Amino acid sequence: MPETPPDTDVHDAPRDGLFIRLYFGDGRFLGPGKIELLETIRTEQSILSAARKMGMSYRRAWLLVDELDRMFNQRVVETFPGRRGRGTELTTFGEKLIGLYRGIERDSAKATREAAEELRAALADDWQETQATHAAKAPAPPTLPANRRQRTR
């Protein structure tokens, strides 16, 4: 699966390849965003630095880490507060979590490569032009008469 360059905002970059999100059936899930956050924390050794590098707020990053810690029966990071502290490190389980997820991703990409290539070969070359033309020609959605409009609060 192609890697996104580190300076590219993952949400803005066109994706190519397999996108894996594991749903555990009880509302918990694990996807590439949480794994990327853990990998960035590993590199930066700081939740704040990882958040900045990924273009998210510190609060959002902290909530995602907290969610991961509560999701599993083992912590994924260990924090060492204070200026003289070592910052944040992944636990052994945090490292294992990344490895397991990336392994699933790699194995899934191998298993689906042939079918994905066949689908890619069948893609229309002028898709973006077709989309733009279709959007320009699409009729506006109908509006309700003034006496039938729904109230919004």
Domain for residue 78, yes or no?
A: yes
Beta-carbon contacts of 87 under 8 Å, excluding residues fewer than 6 positions away, are 45, 46, 79, 80
Domain for residue 146, yes or no?
A: no
In total, how many domains does the chain have?
1
Domain for residue 81, yes or no?
A: yes
Domain for residue 25, yes or no?
A: no
pTM of this structure? 0.70
Domain for residue 133, yes or no?
A: no
If one counts every other C-beta atom within 10 angstroms of the C-beta of residue 51, the result is 22
Counting residues of the chain whose pLDDT is more than 70, the rounded percentage is: 79
pLDDT of residue 16: 74
Range of the domain at 107: 30-124
Domain for residue 137, yes or no?
A: no
Domain for residue 1, yes or no?
A: no
Q: What is the pLDDT of residues 68-109, one digit of tens each?
A: 999 999 999 999 877 665 699 999 999 999 999 999 999 999
80: domain CATH number is 1.10.10.10
Domain for residue 111, yes or no?
A: yes
